[in-house]
C-alpha cells in the first residue's frame, strides 16, 4: 500500500515513528553537556508513550533484553564505584544510558504491539522519509553557507568553496552519514514502489557524499548488499552461490560508482578524495585522521597497561570521550566487565532481529548490528549514545512479532500465524482478515512460503 497522508489519517503508525523522528530532529546546540538534556527529552517522550499504554502487558522477550540492559548498567556503575576518585557528576549520567535505551525499547514495543505488520512498515517508512527530507533541507542550507545555530551545531560543517562537509541536524558528519545510510536501507527494505525506492536511495547517496564521511561511504555498498541478501534469504534456508554472487556484483558495481564520483568531484570533496590516496599508496596511515586514530589507540592501551586493574574496570564512565574505536572505548570507560556485558546484550539483540518473521525488519535490523560492529573499528557505535537508539526501536518492533512474546490479544502476529512475512504476503487482504478474525486462511488467495 502506498504511503500517503490518508494512510495516517487514523493515526496508525505515527506514534511508533515519533521516537526515531525526534531522535533525528532534536536540538543539538554547540554547548557543553547540552546533549544530556536532549537525551533526557527523548527519555521523557518514551516514558510518556509507555504511560499511555501502561495497561498493555509486556512480553517475556522484552523483559529479557531489559534484564541484559540492567546488567550492562550495573557493570557501568561498578566501574564508577571503583574509580570514584576521578568520577564527576556528569560521568554518572553514563550509567543511566541503559535506562534510556530500556525506555525507548519498551515504548517502541508497546506502540508496535498495537499495529499490524503493514502498519509497522508504514511507520518505518514515515520515519525514513521525514528523516531524509529534514536531512536534505538542512544539508542544503549548510551547503550554501547557511547556519542552523543555535539549535544545531555547525562547528563541523563546511559549505561550497571550502572543504565541503554537511552534518544536517546531527552535528557530526559520521553520525549524519550513518543515519542517512540507515534510512536508505529502510526504504530499500520496506518500500514497494521502485521509482520512489531508487529516488530515496539516490538522495541518500548524495547526502553521504556531501557529508564527507569516508568510512560510511565505503560501508554503503556492503550495507546495500547485506540488506539485499537478507531480504532474499528466508529463515532456515541456506545461502545459495547465486545470491552470494549477486551481493559481490552489487558491492563491486557500487564501489566503482563511488570511485567515479570521487574522481569527478574530488577537488570539491577533499575528505573523500583521500580514499584515492589510500588506494594508490595501500597505506591507511597516509590519511592524517587514521594516523591520529592509531596514535590515540596506542595511548589508550598504554594507560590501561600502566595498571592491570584498569583492564577489568576501566577508568570510569565518561573518562574517555572519543577514542574512535568502540571496543577500546568500552574497555577504557567501563573495563572488560562492561565490554563483555555490552557484547552479550547486542549479541542477544542480533539473535532477536535475525529470528524476526518480518523479512524487511529482519534485513534492516541484522544489517544495522553487523555494520555497527564493523564501523566500530573506526569510531564509537554500539557503546556510544546515538547508535543504539534506533536499534532499540527496531528491536522493540521485532519483539512484538515473535511467538515467544508470552502475551495475548495483540494486533501483531507471531511466527505461528505468519511463517514468513514479506511484502508480497500482504497483497492478499482477505487472507489477512481471515487470520485477524481467527478463521483458517484461504490458501487459494495466496500461498504463504514456509520460512
What's the CA gap between 418 and 403, in Å, rounded? 10
Give the list of residues 6+ apart from residue 370 with CB closer than 8 angstroms, or none.
Answer: 226, 350
Which of 248, 207, 241, 208 has its CA nearest to residue 225? 248
Three-state DSSP at 410 gives: coil
Q: Which helix (H) or strand (E) holds 337?
A: helix 326-354
| Tens-digit pLDDT profile for residues 127-140 | 999 999 999 998 88
| Tens-digit pLDDT profile for residues 275-302 | 666 666 665 655 667 777 888 888 889 9
Which of 217, 18, 230 has its CA nearest to residue 104? 18
Which of 393, 310, 402 has its CA nearest to residue 354? 402
> Residue 363: is its pLDDT beyond 80?
yes
Give the list of residues 6+ apart from residue 37 with CB closer than 8 angstroms, or none.
Answer: none
Between helix 214-232 and helix 173-190 the angle, nearest 10°, is: 20
pTM here is: 0.82
DSSP 367-408: HHHHHHHHHTTTS--TTSSSHHHHHHHHHHHHHHT-GGG---
> Residue 82: is its pLDDT beyond 70?
yes
Structure confidence at residue 268 as a pLDDT band (50, 70, 90): low
pLDDT of residue 247: 67
Compute the half-sphere exposure of residue 39: CA atoms within 13 Å on the CB side of its CA. Answer: 20
| Tens-digit pLDDT profile for residues 212-263 | 888 888 888 889 889 988 887 765 555 556 666 666 766 777 767 666 766 6
What's the CA gap between 65 and 395, in Å, rounded? 9
Domain boundaries, the chain: 6-418, 419-451
Query: For 166-183, what is the HEC assignment?
Result: CCCCCCCHHHHHHHHHHH
| Tens-digit pLDDT profile for residues 20-53 | 999 999 888 777 667 778 888 999 999 999 998 8
Classify residue 442 as exposed, middle or buried by CB count within 10 Å of its CB (0-12, 13-18, 19+).
exposed
Q: Judge whether 93 and 141 are in contact, CB under 8 Å.
A: no
What's the CA gap between 4 and 439, in Å, rounded? 30
Between helix 14-25 and helix 34-52 the angle, nearest 10°, is: 170
- Beta-bridge mates of residue 358: 421
Amino acid at each position: 500500500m502506498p504511503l500517503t497522508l490518508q494512510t495516517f489519517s487514523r493515526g496508525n503508525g505515527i506514534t511508533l515513528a515519533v521516537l526515531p523522528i525526534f531522535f533525528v530532529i532534536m536540538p543539538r546546540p554547540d554547548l557543553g553537556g547540552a546533549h544530556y538534556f536532549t537525551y533526557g527529552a527523548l527519555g521523557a517522550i518514551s516514558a510518556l508513550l509507555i504511560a499511555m499504554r501502561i495497561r498493555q502487558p509486556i512480553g517475556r522477550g522484552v523483559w529479557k533484553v531489559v534484564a541484559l540492559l540492567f546488567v550492562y548498567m550495573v557493570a557501568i556503575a561498578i566501574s564508577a564505584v571503583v574509580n570514584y576518585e576521578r568520577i564527576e557528576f556528569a560521568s554518572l549520567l553514563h550509567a543511566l544510558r541503559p535506562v534510556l535505551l530500556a525506555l525507548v525499547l519498551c515504548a517502541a514495543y508497546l506502540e508496535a504491539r498495537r499495529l499490524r505488520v503493514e502498519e509497522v512498515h508504514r511507520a518505518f517508512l514515515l520515519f525514513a522519509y521525514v528523516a531524509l527530507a529534514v536531512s536534505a533541507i538542512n544539508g542544503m542550507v549548510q551547503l550554501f553557507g547557511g547556519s542552523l545555530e543555535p539549535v544545531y551545531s555547525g562547528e563541523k560543517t563546511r559549505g561550497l568553496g571550502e572543504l565541503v562537509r554537511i552534518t544536517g541536524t546531527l552535528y557530526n558528519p559520521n553520525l549524519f552519514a550513518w543515519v542517512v545510510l540507515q534510512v536508505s536501507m529502510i526504504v530499500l527494505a520496506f518500500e514497494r514502489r521502485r521509482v520512489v525506492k531508487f529516488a530515496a536511495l539516490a538522495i541518500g547517496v548524495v547526502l553521504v557524499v556531501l557529508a564527507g564521511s569516508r568510512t560510511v561511504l565505503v560501508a554503503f555498498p556492503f550495507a546495500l548488499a547485506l540488506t539485499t541478501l537478507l531480504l532474499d534469504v528466508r529463515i532456515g534456508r541456506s545461502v545459495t552461490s547465486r545470491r552470494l554472487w549477486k551481493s559481490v556484483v552489487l558491492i563491486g558495481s557500487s564501489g566503482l560508482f563511488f570511485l567515479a564520483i570521487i574522481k569527478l568531484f574530488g577537488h570539491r570533496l577533499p575528505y573523500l578524495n583521500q580514499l584515492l590516496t589510500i588506494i594508490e599508496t595501500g597505506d591507511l596511515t597516509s590519511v592524517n585522521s587514521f594516523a591520529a586514530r592509531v596514535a590515540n589507540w596506542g595511548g589508550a592501551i598504554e594507560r590501561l597497561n600502566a595498571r592491570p586493574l584498569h583492564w577489568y574496570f576501566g577508568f570510569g564512565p565518561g573518562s574517555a570521550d572519543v577514542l574512535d574505536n568502540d571496543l577500546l572505548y568500552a574497555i577504557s570507560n567501563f573495563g572488560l566487565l562492561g565490554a563483555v556485558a555490552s557484547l552479550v546484550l547486542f549479541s542477544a539483540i542480533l539473535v532477536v532481529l535475525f529470528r524476526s518473521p518480518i523479512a524487511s525488519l529482519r534485513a534492516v535490523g541484522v544489517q544495522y548490528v553487523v555494520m555497527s560492529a564493523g564501523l566500530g573499528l573506526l569510531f564509537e557505535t554500539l557503546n556510544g549514545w546515538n547508535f543504539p537508539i534506533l536499534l532499540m526501536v527496531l528491536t522493540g518492533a521485532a519483539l512484538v512479532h515473535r511467538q515467544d512474546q508470552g502475551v495475548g490479544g495483540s494486533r501483531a502476529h507471531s511466527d505461528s500465524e505468519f511463517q514468513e512475512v514479506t511484502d508480497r504476503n500482504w497483497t492478499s487482504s482477505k487472507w489477512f482478515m481471515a487470520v485477524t478474525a481467527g478463521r483458517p486462511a484461504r490458501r487459494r488467495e495466496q500461498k504463504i512460503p514456509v520460512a
